[in-house]
Amino acid sequence: MTPSLLMAVLASGFIYGITPGPGVLAVFGIGAARGRRAGAGFLCGHLLGDVIWCSTALIAIVGAREIGSTAFDVLGVLSGLYLFWLGWRAVRAKRSNGEQPQGAARQPFWHGILFGLTNPKAYPVAVATFTALLSSRAELLNWSMLPMLIALSFLGGLLAYAILIGIVGARQVRTLYQRHELAITRLCGIMFIGFAINALVHALPGLIPNKA
């Protein structure tokens, strides 16, 4: 595995874990209601779902690559379009009504497991994020790399969650997040659109017939 591929997989796991979404919003709500320890318990449980969904996404990506470049390019286009749609929705987001989930679960760890395993956006977002960042290195992917890819994505997600645990529950962070929530959401939307463009740039040429 090349250094650039290592960093791409680590970055994919990190970005998937730390990008604001249902899980991140939930942990901020739990941290605000019950403190850092409860938020950490929720994230530890949620990590199980992340490992499963990221592993499934990597299996799909490597499988598409092994089947043929066309299958991978189609997956790249679909992922790029999905990421663009998510990014466009985030850029056009409006201020919420202030009713953020407080996550007042009595057992945050088990609540996190259930939340992570049942999040309907987890798999498509994982596929889209990993495809966008790995598309330029698609020729390097094979089944023998799969265990290492999963381990690296896990480390990236673990780093993201360590950062979240470090800041969740802090009054200044909660205040800053609540005050600038809309701006943060829109910035994440711009980032998703950038990933989408990257995925489409690498996937579309492979689907355009060469007339030469």
User: Along the 212 residues of the chain, how does pLDDT read in single tens digits?
Assistant: 788 888 989 998 998 888 777 677 778 767 766 778 888 888 888 888 888 888 988 888 888 877 776 777 787 788 778 878 878 887 887 765 544 444 445 688 888 888 788 765 677 788 888 888 887 787 788 889 899 999 999 999 999 999 888 887 677 776 776 677 778 778 877 877 887 887 788 778 777 765 44
Give residue-wise pLDDT tens across range 129-180: 888 888 778 778 888 989 999 999 999 999 999 988 888 767 777 677 667 7
Q: How far apart are CA 54 and CA 17, in angstroms?
A: 10
Residue 75, in any domain of the structure: yes
Q: What range defines the domain where residue 162 resides?
A: 3-206
Q: How far apart are CA 79 and CA 130, in angstroms?
A: 9
pTM: 0.70
Residue 128, in any domain of the structure: yes
Please give the single-letter amino acid code of residue 132. Answer: A
- C-alpha triplet 26, 28, 32: angle, nearest 5°: 115
Residue 123, in any domain of the structure: yes
Residue 56, in any domain of the structure: yes
Evaluate whether 29 touches 173 at the Cβ level (below 8 Å).
Answer: no
Collect all residues with Cβ–Cβ distance below 8 Å to 5 and sequence separation of at least 6: 134, 137, 140
Residue 211, in any domain of the structure: no
Nearest by Cα to 161 from 125, 195, 116: 116
Nearest by Cα to 193 from 77, 94, 82: 82
- Quote the distance between the C-alpha of residue 61 and its chain's center: 15
Q: How many domains does the chain have?
A: 1
**CA contacts within 13 A on the Cβ side of 200:** 13
Residue 212, in any domain of the structure: no
Residue 134, in any domain of the structure: yes
Residue 31, in any domain of the structure: yes
Q: How far apart are CA 212 and CA 210, in angstroms?
A: 6
